[in-house]
């Protein structure tokens, strides 16, 4: 209740100023404004009776360049409180008034478009924002909203067009956004077997953002689908250069390519190099398995013991205990090994560098802040 009352302060101030202004200007009550109705509406808001408040303000006779500020502030308040239907009703009522000045009408149109966005009525919002786009006062917001609409509707060509427009009206860089939009378009083209156009868009993605991991990943997937393991591995190795922390995420693809190409020594060397550069339980475990495969169990045991001497890690201890159990008949050792295995659960972990959203799934667009390319792996 206190927070709501504080939110009403700007509305109350505007209403109070306006009523006082009209009182002194029109002492003979020449105005059509019913002062008591304004205070009645405000009283309904303070008492959390928003339905009654909307009825009062919608039925007020006078709406002009001065009272409009109060109405717009109320609409914004309703929208921020999640009462979108009330905001829509208030703004629609304003739009229906023929006496509105052109500039005021544009402001109301923008607010109504925002109401529709919050209500998920994207078709209605799109129609209003397209009408508003030609007016420079609202151009930045209009472009952002239309870009959001086309992304939600997965109309990637339109989204790219508006991302390009945004680049020219907003000082913030848009290269990461554009790279991911081209990746989305490429993915859509892959799904309809238009490989040529898909590759073209992936090239554009890399031109916008040379560090776009996703572009090389999609290129690698295309090559794998065509059994071109050498070319796929080249794209995967490019990911290592772009951001080595993504290697564990797609490690199964690396291993597949090395195995299909019979490059077992190269695989071991690659795993050893990457394992030494980043901390990743998955990488260490995969390297140990490759070490057993090519150098024998004793070499793997020595490696893990050396790792533990540098700093104990649950994953390394779990793997070592499992290997020792295989060589021992001691039931106590097996009990300890089973307990460690139960404690340790290997999983991927991702974090948005912008808003801190955490997940166990890689999202190219953060589900919380809706920014592209901000989610990265957190290696254990």
The answer on 199 and 238 residing in a single domain is yes
The answer on 114 and 6 residing in a single domain is yes
The pair of structure tokens assigned to 44 is: 């309904």
The answer on 277 and 194 residing in a single domain is no
The answer on 100 and 34 residing in a single domain is yes
| Run means of pLDDT, 10 residues per run, the chain, 380 residues | 44 43 44 48 48 54 62 80 86 83 90 96 97 89 97 98 95 96 98 96 98 98 97 98 96 95 96 91 83 82 76 65 59 46 62 95 95 89
Q: Apex CA 134: angle with CA 131 and CA 139, to 5°?
A: 100
- Which of 84, 119, 154 delimits the end of a domain? 119
Residue partners of 204: CB distance under 8 A and separation at least 6: 182
Looking at residue 81, its pLDDT comes to 79
Q: Is residue 168 part of a domain?
A: no
Q: Is residue 106 part of a domain?
A: yes
Q: How far from chain centre, in Å, is Cα 24? A: 52
- With b for 16 or more beta-carbon neighbours within 10 A and e for fewer, the 193-226 pattern comes to eeeeebbebbebbbebbeebbbbbbbbbbbbbee
The answer on 380 and 338 residing in a single domain is no
Under 8 Å between Cβ of 179 and 205: yes
Max Cα–Cα distance, the chain, nearest Å: 104
Q: Is residue 206 part of a domain?
A: yes
Q: Is residue 147 part of a domain?
A: no
Q: Is the dihedral of CA 51, 54, 58, 59 positive or negative?
A: positive
Q: Is residue 325 part of a domain?
A: yes
The answer on 99 and 39 residing in a single domain is yes
Q: Is the dihedral of CA 260, 265, 267, 268 positive or negative?
A: positive
The answer on 106 and 14 residing in a single domain is yes
Q: Is residue 167 part of a domain?
A: no
Looking at residue 98, its pLDDT comes to 81
The phi, psi pair for 202, rounded to 5°, reads -70, -35
Q: Is residue 67 part of a domain?
A: yes
Per the structure, how many domains does the chain have? 4
Angle between helices 139-152 and 156-169 (to 10 degrees): 160
> Other C-beta atoms within 10 Å of 234: how many?
15
Q: Is residue 358 part of a domain?
A: yes
Q: How far from chain centre, in Å, is Cα 331? A: 50
Looking at residue 33, its pLDDT comes to 46
The answer on 216 and 278 residing in a single domain is no
The pair of structure tokens assigned to 207 is: 């031109």
List the one residue out of 128, 54, 124, 67 whose CA is nearest residue 93: 54
Looking at residue 94, its pLDDT comes to 85
Q: Is the dihedral of CA 168, 170, 175, 178 positive or negative?
A: negative
Its domain, for residue 235, covers: 173-245
**CATH number of the domain to which 201 belongs:** 1.25.40.10
Q: Could you give the CA distance from residue 286 to residue 330 in angstroms, rounded to a whole number?
A: 27
List the one residue out of 266, 268, 326 whose CA is nearest residue 294: 268
Under 8 Å between Cβ of 91 and 111: yes
């Amino acid at each position: 209740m206190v927070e709501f009352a504080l939110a009403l302060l700007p509305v109350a101030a505007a209403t109070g100023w306006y009523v006082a202004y009209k009182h002194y200007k029109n002492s003979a009550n020449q105005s059509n404004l019913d002062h008591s109705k304004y205070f009645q509406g405000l009283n309904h808001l303070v008492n959390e009776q928003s339905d009654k408040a909307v009825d009062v303000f919608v039925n007020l006779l006078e709406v002009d360049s001065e009272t409009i500020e109060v109405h717009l502030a109320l609409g914004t308040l309703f929208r921020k409180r999640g009462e979108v239907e009330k905001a829509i009703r208030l703004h629609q009522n304003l739009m229906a008034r023929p006496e509105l000045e052109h500039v005021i009408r544009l402001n109301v149109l923008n607010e109504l478009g925002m109401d529709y966005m919050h209500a998920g009525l994207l078709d209605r919002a799109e129609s209003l924002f397209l009408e508003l786009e030609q007016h420079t006062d609202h151009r930045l917001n209009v472009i952002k909203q239309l870009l959001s609409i086309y992304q939600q509707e997965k109309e990637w060509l339109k989204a790219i067009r508006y991302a390009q427009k945004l680049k020219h009206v907003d000082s913030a860089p848009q290269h990461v956004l554009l790279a991911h939009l081209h990746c989305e378009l490429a993915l859509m083209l892959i799904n309809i077997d238009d490989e040529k156009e898909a590759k073209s868009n992936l090239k554009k993605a890399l031109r916008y953002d040379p560090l776009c991991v996703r572009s090389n990943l999609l290129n690698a997937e295309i090559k794998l689908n065509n059994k071109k393991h050498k070319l796929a591995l080249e794209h995967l190795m490019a990911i290592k250069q772009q951001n080595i922390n993504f290697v564990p995420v797609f490690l199964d693809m690396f291993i597949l390519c090395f195995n299909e190409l019979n490059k077992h020594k190269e695989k071991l060397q690659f795993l050893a190099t990457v394992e030494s550069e980043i901390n990743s339980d998955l990488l260490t475990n995969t390297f140990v398995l490759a070490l057993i495969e090519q150098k024998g169990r004793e070499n793997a045991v020595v490696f893990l013991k050396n790792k533990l001497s540098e700093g104990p890690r649950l994953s390394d201890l779990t793997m070592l205990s499992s290997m020792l159990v295989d060589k021992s008949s001691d039931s106590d050792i097996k009990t300890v090994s089973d307990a460690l295995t139960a404690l340790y659960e290997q999983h991927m972990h991702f974090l948005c560098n912008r808003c801190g959203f955490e997940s166990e799934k890689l999202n190219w667009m953060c589900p919380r802040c809706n920014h592209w390319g901000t989610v990265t792996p957190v290696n254990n």
